Amino acid sequence: MKDEAPRLALPPAKQGEHGKAWRLDIAALRRKHGKVGGELGGWIVEAPWAHPMWHSYVIAVIHLRPIAGFPPAVIRLQGATHEVILFALDPSHTPTLDNFPKFLSPSNFVGQWIAESDEAAVAKMDACVDEIIAGRLSPDTDFRHEWIARFSASNMKGPDIPPGLVIAVPGGAVVIGTGKQNADAIVAAAAGPVPPKKEQH
Protein backbone atom coordinates (compact mmCIF):
# COMPACT_ATOMS: atom_id res chain seq x y z
CA MET A 1 0.00 0.00 0.00
CA LYS A 2 1.31 3.46 -0.86
CA ASP A 3 1.92 6.15 1.74
CA GLU A 4 -1.24 7.67 3.08
CA ALA A 5 -2.41 10.98 1.66
CA PRO A 6 -3.92 13.61 3.97
CA ARG A 7 -7.37 12.61 5.12
CA LEU A 8 -10.54 14.52 4.40
CA ALA A 9 -10.31 17.61 6.63
CA LEU A 10 -13.81 19.08 6.27
CA PRO A 11 -16.06 18.94 9.34
CA PRO A 12 -17.96 15.64 9.15
CA ALA A 13 -21.74 15.55 8.76
CA LYS A 14 -21.79 12.70 11.27
CA GLN A 15 -19.35 11.61 13.94
CA GLY A 16 -19.50 8.61 16.24
CA GLU A 17 -17.27 6.97 18.79
CA HIS A 18 -15.50 4.94 16.08
CA GLY A 19 -15.70 7.00 12.90
CA LYS A 20 -16.73 10.02 10.87
CA ALA A 21 -18.89 10.43 7.77
CA TRP A 22 -19.27 13.03 5.02
CA ARG A 23 -22.21 13.10 2.61
CA LEU A 24 -21.23 13.05 -1.08
CA ASP A 25 -22.46 16.04 -3.08
CA ILE A 26 -24.38 14.14 -5.75
CA ALA A 27 -25.60 17.32 -7.48
CA ALA A 28 -22.02 18.62 -7.75
CA LEU A 29 -20.83 15.24 -9.04
CA ARG A 30 -23.43 15.37 -11.80
CA ARG A 31 -22.61 18.96 -12.74
CA LYS A 32 -18.88 18.29 -12.77
CA HIS A 33 -18.88 14.98 -14.60
CA GLY A 34 -22.02 15.23 -16.72
CA LYS A 35 -23.40 11.98 -15.35
CA VAL A 36 -27.10 11.68 -14.67
CA GLY A 37 -27.34 8.13 -13.39
CA GLY A 38 -29.36 6.47 -10.69
CA GLU A 39 -27.29 7.78 -7.79
CA LEU A 40 -29.53 8.81 -4.90
CA GLY A 41 -26.94 9.45 -2.23
CA GLY A 42 -23.64 8.40 -0.81
CA TRP A 43 -21.15 8.83 1.99
CA ILE A 44 -17.42 8.78 2.57
CA VAL A 45 -16.96 7.01 5.88
CA GLU A 46 -13.75 7.01 7.89
CA ALA A 47 -13.61 3.87 10.06
CA PRO A 48 -9.95 3.06 10.79
CA TRP A 49 -10.95 0.36 13.28
CA ALA A 50 -12.31 -1.86 10.51
CA HIS A 51 -9.05 -2.67 8.67
CA PRO A 52 -5.31 -2.12 9.34
CA MET A 53 -4.42 -1.14 5.73
CA TRP A 54 -7.07 1.47 4.84
CA HIS A 55 -9.20 3.80 6.83
CA SER A 56 -12.04 5.03 4.62
CA TYR A 57 -14.91 3.68 2.54
CA VAL A 58 -17.56 4.91 0.14
CA ILE A 59 -21.12 3.68 0.47
CA ALA A 60 -23.77 4.71 -2.05
CA VAL A 61 -27.26 3.75 -3.14
CA ILE A 62 -28.74 3.80 -6.64
CA HIS A 63 -32.22 3.12 -7.96
CA LEU A 64 -32.68 0.42 -10.61
CA ARG A 65 -35.34 2.13 -12.73
CA PRO A 66 -34.75 2.68 -16.48
CA ILE A 67 -32.78 5.86 -17.30
CA ALA A 68 -32.72 7.39 -20.80
CA GLY A 69 -29.31 6.98 -22.40
CA PHE A 70 -28.17 4.29 -19.98
CA PRO A 71 -28.31 0.50 -20.43
CA PRO A 72 -30.96 -1.19 -18.30
CA ALA A 73 -29.90 -2.25 -14.83
CA VAL A 74 -29.07 -5.92 -14.35
CA ILE A 75 -31.61 -7.16 -11.82
CA ARG A 76 -30.11 -9.93 -9.72
CA LEU A 77 -32.91 -10.17 -7.15
CA GLN A 78 -36.45 -10.55 -8.45
CA GLY A 79 -38.37 -7.33 -7.89
CA ALA A 80 -35.30 -5.38 -6.68
CA THR A 81 -35.73 -1.61 -6.74
CA HIS A 82 -32.40 -0.37 -5.35
CA GLU A 83 -28.76 -1.35 -5.02
CA VAL A 84 -26.17 -0.47 -2.38
CA ILE A 85 -22.44 -0.43 -3.11
CA LEU A 86 -19.55 -0.43 -0.65
CA PHE A 87 -15.88 0.05 -1.54
CA ALA A 88 -12.71 0.63 0.46
CA LEU A 89 -10.94 3.83 -0.60
CA ASP A 90 -7.32 4.04 -1.70
CA PRO A 91 -5.51 5.72 1.24
CA SER A 92 -2.92 7.21 -1.13
CA HIS A 93 -5.57 9.66 -2.41
CA THR A 94 -7.45 12.31 -0.47
CA PRO A 95 -11.18 12.08 -1.30
CA THR A 96 -13.37 15.10 -1.96
CA LEU A 97 -17.15 15.35 -1.81
CA ASP A 98 -17.60 16.52 -5.42
CA ASN A 99 -15.45 13.89 -7.15
CA PHE A 100 -15.84 10.16 -7.57
CA PRO A 101 -13.47 8.75 -4.94
CA LYS A 102 -10.58 6.47 -5.93
CA PHE A 103 -11.65 3.11 -4.58
CA LEU A 104 -9.94 -0.23 -4.25
CA SER A 105 -11.16 -3.16 -6.33
CA PRO A 106 -13.02 -5.45 -5.97
CA SER A 107 -15.93 -4.03 -4.01
CA ASN A 108 -16.44 -4.91 -0.36
CA PHE A 109 -20.15 -5.46 -0.98
CA VAL A 110 -22.85 -4.90 -3.60
CA GLY A 111 -26.42 -5.94 -2.96
CA GLN A 112 -29.92 -5.34 -4.29
CA TRP A 113 -33.12 -5.18 -2.30
CA ILE A 114 -36.73 -4.04 -2.48
CA ALA A 115 -37.35 -0.62 -0.91
CA GLU A 116 -40.64 1.18 -0.46
CA SER A 117 -39.26 4.39 -1.99
CA ASP A 118 -36.07 6.29 -2.82
CA GLU A 119 -36.35 8.00 0.55
CA ALA A 120 -36.60 4.65 2.35
CA ALA A 121 -33.57 3.36 0.42
CA VAL A 122 -31.47 6.38 1.37
CA ALA A 123 -32.62 6.11 4.99
CA LYS A 124 -31.48 2.48 5.10
CA MET A 125 -28.05 3.45 3.76
CA ASP A 126 -27.85 6.30 6.29
CA ALA A 127 -28.66 3.85 9.10
CA CYS A 128 -25.73 1.66 7.99
CA VAL A 129 -23.44 4.69 8.15
CA ASP A 130 -24.63 5.37 11.71
CA GLU A 131 -23.84 1.77 12.65
CA ILE A 132 -20.35 1.94 11.11
CA ILE A 133 -19.29 5.08 12.96
CA ALA A 134 -20.72 3.64 16.17
CA GLY A 135 -18.57 0.52 15.71
CA ARG A 136 -21.53 -1.84 15.37
CA LEU A 137 -21.24 -2.66 11.64
CA SER A 138 -17.94 -3.38 9.95
CA PRO A 139 -17.45 -2.37 6.29
CA ASP A 140 -14.71 -4.99 5.94
CA THR A 141 -15.20 -8.00 3.68
CA ASP A 142 -14.89 -10.39 6.64
CA PHE A 143 -18.33 -9.17 7.73
CA ARG A 144 -20.24 -9.47 4.45
CA HIS A 145 -22.79 -11.64 6.22
CA GLU A 146 -23.86 -8.52 8.13
CA TRP A 147 -24.48 -6.66 4.86
CA ILE A 148 -26.32 -9.65 3.39
CA ALA A 149 -28.58 -9.66 6.44
CA ARG A 150 -29.47 -5.99 5.78
CA PHE A 151 -29.82 -6.17 1.98
CA SER A 152 -29.45 -9.54 0.20
CA ALA A 153 -26.93 -11.90 -1.32
CA SER A 154 -28.07 -10.91 -4.83
CA ASN A 155 -24.63 -10.03 -6.19
CA MET A 156 -22.55 -12.53 -4.24
CA LYS A 157 -20.87 -15.57 -5.75
CA GLY A 158 -18.49 -18.27 -4.66
CA PRO A 159 -17.55 -19.44 -1.16
CA ASP A 160 -18.86 -16.31 0.58
CA ILE A 161 -22.42 -17.53 0.09
CA PRO A 162 -23.52 -21.04 1.06
CA PRO A 163 -26.17 -22.67 -1.13
CA GLY A 164 -29.67 -21.82 0.04
CA LEU A 165 -32.43 -19.29 -0.22
CA VAL A 166 -32.44 -15.55 0.43
CA ILE A 167 -35.46 -14.95 2.63
CA ALA A 168 -36.80 -11.63 3.88
CA VAL A 169 -36.64 -10.94 7.62
CA PRO A 170 -37.35 -7.73 9.54
CA GLY A 171 -34.64 -5.23 8.68
CA GLY A 172 -33.21 -7.08 5.67
CA ALA A 173 -32.67 -10.58 4.32
CA VAL A 174 -30.68 -13.61 5.36
CA VAL A 175 -29.25 -16.65 3.57
CA ILE A 176 -30.76 -19.83 4.93
CA GLY A 177 -30.92 -23.45 3.85
CA THR A 178 -29.81 -26.87 5.01
CA GLY A 179 -26.49 -28.27 6.15
CA LYS A 180 -23.74 -27.24 8.55
CA GLN A 181 -22.33 -24.48 6.30
CA ASN A 182 -25.67 -22.67 6.25
CA ALA A 183 -26.18 -23.17 9.98
CA ASP A 184 -22.76 -21.64 10.60
CA ALA A 185 -23.65 -18.69 8.34
CA ILE A 186 -26.85 -18.06 10.28
CA VAL A 187 -25.01 -18.20 13.63
CA ALA A 188 -22.37 -15.78 12.30
CA ALA A 189 -25.03 -13.38 11.03
CA ALA A 190 -26.77 -13.43 14.40
CA ALA A 191 -23.49 -12.82 16.27
CA GLY A 192 -22.63 -9.66 14.32
CA PRO A 193 -19.21 -8.04 13.86
CA VAL A 194 -16.51 -8.08 16.51
CA PRO A 195 -16.60 -4.73 18.33
CA PRO A 196 -13.60 -2.48 17.65
CA LYS A 197 -10.74 -2.80 20.12
CA LYS A 198 -9.94 0.16 22.31
CA GLU A 199 -6.71 1.87 21.38
CA GLN A 200 -3.73 0.62 23.34
CA HIS A 201 -1.91 3.18 25.49
Type of residue at 116 = E
pLDDT for 171 beyond 90: no
Query: What span, in angstroms and rounded, lies between the C-alpha atoms of 66 and 106?
Result: 25
What is the pTM for the complete model shown?
Answer: 0.75
- Over residues 93-145, the pLDDT tens digits come to 888 888 778 889 899 999 999 999 999 999 999 999 999 999 999 999 999 99
Backbone angles phi, psi at 188, to 5 degrees: -65, -40
Say what the pLDDT of residue 79 is: 94
